[in-house]
Amino acid sequence: MIPIHDIRFFLILVKAGSLAAAAREINVTPPAITQRLQQLEIRLGVRLLDRSTRSMRLTDEGELLLEKGTAICAENDILFEQLSARRAVVAGHLRINAPLGFGRRYIAPLVAQFQTTFPEVKISLTLFDRFTSSAAHNADVTFHIGALTDSSLVAYKIAENARILCAAPAYIRRMGMPSDPESLSQHHCLVLRENNEDVSLWRFSKGRIHQSVRVDPILACNDGEVIHQWALLAKGIMIRSEWDVAENVRGGRLTELLPEWDIPSADVIALVPQRRGMSARVKKFIEYVVEEFAPLPPWRIKK
């Protein structure tokens, strides 16, 4: 019989991709990882990995242990959840992904509060600057802002989040207020490049009227915080999420432009790999975040 902790060790090693990365993940030295792997191979009587200083490759036996071990660990986790549920305890390891800025400002504090409320839950929070489907499939919960094309992930709406056209008052005094979406082509525009989207095509609607404007950005960046800072420096007009600009709009450091026109929203959603078999800790955490942002999230400007 293979102890479950040995199987989990092997799965961590394979996921890490190298002995050094696995050592960092488990917080031990690389020689300790090598020794533990050798001991496991000796006990099993087979070689699990062909490895060099820079790479490693699964043997047929390693592939078998990876496949069966993954299923065994999943079944073990389900059993643990079922047993924990019977004593009304939310426990286990919760892996959460969130966008860098939004995650730092809104998700990280809720993670700390949730862990205090449910002390038997261990939480790993990873903040990313670019969404990837593979990372979302390897997490328990991934927060995302806006529409999603990957239909294999199950989405739960967490909170409303409008997108705001805005600029600094100093820019407006210098360049004037745009009168309609078409006039934006005569203005300095700031563009955030992310997720391979057509970010220079800005879309607006007012009732049944729809307008799309192709802007020629004077400044562009792949970091939303940089775009925000440029706007505060009166470099131009930007479209940003309500969660990011609400404080500065309320404080008068940014002015909302063309408020009578709507921009496609970018609601906050939580993504899970599958609907069935959701653990108690995942379900409880999603419910917790929804309740914290209800009835209106703290960034809400649009009513």
The answer, yes or no, to whether residue 131 has pLDDT greater than 90, is no
**pLDDT attached to residue 292:** 95
The answer, yes or no, to whether residue 196 has pLDDT greater than 70, is no
User: Domain 163-256 belongs to what topology?
Assistant: D-Maltodextrin-Binding Protein; domain 2 (3.40.190)
**pLDDT attached to residue 150:** 62
Q: Rounded CA gap, 43 and 187, in Å?
A: 70
The answer, yes or no, to whether residue 52 has pLDDT greater than 70, is no
**pLDDT attached to residue 293:** 95
CA distances to 48, 61, 90, 167, 239 from 53, in Å: 16, 21, 41, 53, 48
**pLDDT attached to residue 276:** 63
**pLDDT attached to residue 173:** 97
H/E segment holding residue 287:
helix 280-292
The answer, yes or no, to whether residue 303 has pLDDT greater than 90, is no
The answer, yes or no, to whether residue 158 has pLDDT greater than 90, is yes
Alpha helix stretches (DSSP H) within 54-132: 60-86, 100-102, 108-117
The answer, yes or no, to whether residue 53 has pLDDT greater than 60, is no
**pLDDT attached to residue 274:** 75
Summarised one tens digit per residue, pLDDT across range 146-157 is: 877 766 889 999
Assess contact for 156 and 141: CB atoms under 8 A: no
- Provide the pLDDT confidence category of residue 195 given band limits of 50, 70 and 90: low
Q: Rounded CA gap, 83 and 131, in Å?
A: 34
Q: Over the range 6-42, which residues count as b (16 or more CB within 10 Å of their CB) and which as e?
A: bbebbbebbebebbeebbeeeeeeeeebeebbeebbe
Kindly state the DSSP code that residue 3 receives in the 8-state scheme. -
**pLDDT attached to residue 302:** 67
- Provide the pLDDT confidence category of residue 275 given band limits of 50, 70 and 90: low
Mean of pLDDT values over 206-211: 94
Q: Is the peptide bond before 295 cis (omega within 30 degrees of 0)?
A: yes
**pLDDT attached to residue 87:** 64
**pLDDT attached to residue 20:** 83
Assess contact for 213 and 181: CB atoms under 8 A: yes
Higher pLDDT, 273 or 164: 164
Summarised one tens digit per residue, pLDDT across range 74-104 is: 888 888 877 777 666 788 899 999 999 999 9
Domain ranges of the chain: 4-85, 90-161+267-292, 163-256
Kindly state the DSSP code that residue 104 receives in the 8-state scheme. I
Mean of pLDDT values over 278-295: 92
**pLDDT attached to residue 170:** 98
In the chain, % of residues over pLDDT 90: 60
The angle at the Cα of 126, spanning 125 to 128, to the nearest 5 degrees, equals: 145
The CATH classification of domain 4-85, taken from the options 1.10.10.10, 3.90.1150.10, 1.10.3720.10, 1.10.357.10? 1.10.10.10
What is the length of the chain?
A: 303
Assess contact for 11 and 68: CB atoms under 8 A: no
Q: Which amino acid appears at position 215 of this protein?
A: V
Q: Do domains 90-161+267-292 and 163-256 have the same CATH topology?
A: yes
For 207: left if phi > 0, alpha if psi spans -120 to 50, otherwise beta; the answer is left
Q: Which amino acid appears at position 17 of this protein?
A: G
From the list 204, 196, 231, the residue with the least C-alpha distance to 217 is 231
User: Domain 90-161+267-292 belongs to what topology?
Assistant: D-Maltodextrin-Binding Protein; domain 2 (3.40.190)
